[in-house]
Structure 1
Amino acid sequence: MGYTYDHENIFAKILRGEIPNDTVLETEHSLAFNDIAPQSPVHVLVIPKGPYVTWDHFIDAASDAEIADYHRAMRQVIDKLGLSPGEDGQGYRVIVNSGAAGVQEVMHLHTHICSGRDLGRMIPNEPK
C-alpha cells in the first residue's frame, strides 16, 4: 500500500521547531509531548521523527532502530510519569488511530498515552 506523507501536518511542523510543544521526552527517533487538547488528566502524544503516516506504514518502512526507539520511548514516558499499574490503582491506555475508520486526525503516526482517571470502556457498546 502506498502512503503519502504531508510534510505540512502539525506534527511535522512541531518536529521542525515551527510550532512549540510541551516536551515530555525526546530520543534519537521519537518525541513525546503533552496534548494541547487533553482528553484525560494525563494525555501525552508520542510521535516518530520520521515521516510515517500510520502504524502500518511505520512498521513496513521504518528501520529496526526507529521501531525499537519508538516503543521504548512510550515505555519511558509511562515510567517517567509513574503510570504503570500497581497497588495505587494507577494505569494507562495506549491508543493508535489509523485511517478514516480509526478516526486519525493528523496524518503522522502518533500514539496517545492517557491516564489520571477511569477512562471508561474503550469502545462503547452500540445498539445493534
Structure 2
Amino acid sequence: MAVGVVDGTSEAIFQTLMALGPSRSEWDFCFSKGSVVEHLDGHTDIIHKQLYSDWLPWGMKRRDLLLRRYWRREDDGTYVILYHSVFHKKCPHQKGYVRACLKSGGYVISPANMGKQSVVKHMLAI
C-alpha cells in the first residue's frame, strides 16, 4: 500500500484518477490509452487500459488490463475506487499485448486539512 498527502480536494483527485484520456499520461507514466468498454450502472463500469512497455524489462511484450471499476462517495467526502480483472466479450485479447491480471486494487481518497488536501491510499494485489 502507498499513502500520500496530495494538494487538492478529494473530488478533484477522484476525477483525475477516473479519467482515461490523454491527460492521464501526464502523471501516470505507464498509461498509453484507455476507454470505457461498458457502463454497468451509475457506479460500475468495465474499462480497458493499454500500458507503455518502456517501464518493462527489455524483450517483454506490452501489457493491457481489462477491469471492472466500482466507485462511491462517502458522506464525509471520501471516495473509494475499486478494481479487479474481468473478461468481456466486447474486449477480447489485443494482438501484441499480454493481458495483465489484477486480483484487486483501488484507491481511498479522504479529505484533509479542511478539504484543501487529501490523503490518498493506493492498494494493489497482483
The TM-score normalised by the length of structure 1 is 0.34
Structure with higher strand content: 2
Greater fraction helix: 1
